[in-house]
Amino acid sequence: MIKKGLSILGTFFLYLVSLLPFWALYFISDVLFFFIYHIFGYRKNVVRENLRNSFPEKTAAELKTIEIEYFKYMADLMMETIKTITISAKEVERRMYTTNPEIVEYYFGQGKSITAPTSHYGNWEMAALSFGLLTDKKRLIVYKPQSNIVFNDFFNRTRSRFGTVMISMKQTLRKMVEYKNELTFIVLASDQTPARSDVHYFTTFLNQPTAVFLGAEKLAKLNNSVVLYYRIDYIKRGYYSATLVPLFENPKQTEPYEITNSHVKYLESMIREKPAYWLWSHRRWKIKPEDIQK
């Protein structure tokens, strides 16, 4: 009960902070970066190891530059995520504009649903709000539930403010059966680490054997939906673009793992282009192929 009360108090505090203007939030972000990076060194060793293994060709100086840029951006992302609690639809459209929204209605006009793998690159929380404004058809986001129920429900309410339906991973297939007679646009974060019991496939990602979810591929083949990569690009502080990149129009005609390998490689190309805006503090490679074989 005490833990729940503290969580509710915490969500109320986040709501109050979200009312601050962006300039004030970025001032807080600058201070936050100093403490996270220079004082506490939050997951600094994790970030360094991930960068070093992902970019063996880069010099120590180059890796250090990416590391600092990442932590500065992570502080910004924290404050921008809090801002999504109260940000208006108009402000979302101004700060996260979609470059080719017409592609959604194009495929819906052909009677095709859409499956869109995406990643923790750029501001995925603001993208969730922008996604809700794209169309009036069924918009679904598959998410991995947090352990704290209060915060989980709070942020799901935030993400669904503009009509998006949030679906936990374990409910995905049941929901897709429920919506089988409707055109749907479903987005999945494809760069999370599966639970050990859910690891069925490894691919090479950023020079390392990487366990990956097969959810996007399975869903696309289930209803033969078009596969678009939901690309988020960092433009400048507080501003992003989203682009829907066609990958496969007929997923049932693809080879096993072809869709998965394709969206993983696409994300890798984005990261190599601008590496500082991916979630480097995540323990992405904690599961090794030899661990599964034991």
How does strand 239-248 pair with strand 96-98? parallel
**Residues 172 and 142: beta-carbon distance below 8 Å:** yes
Under a CB-based contact definition with an 8 Å cutoff, are residues 253 and 239 in contact? no
> Which pLDDT tens digit goes with each residue over 118-172?
999 999 999 999 999 998 888 999 987 776 676 678 878 888 899 899 898 888 8
Measured in whole angstroms, the distance separating CA 199 from the mean position of its chain's CA atoms is: 20
d(CA 120, CA 282): 10
Indicate the pLDDT class of residue 235, thresholds 50, 70 and 90: very high
Query: Is the pTM for the entire model greater than 0.85?
Result: yes
- State whether residue 101 is helix, strand or coil: coil
Higher pLDDT, 6 or 17: 17
pLDDT > 70 fraction of the chain, expressed in percent and rounded? 95
d(CA 132, CA 129): 5
Mean pLDDT (whole number) for 184-202: 90
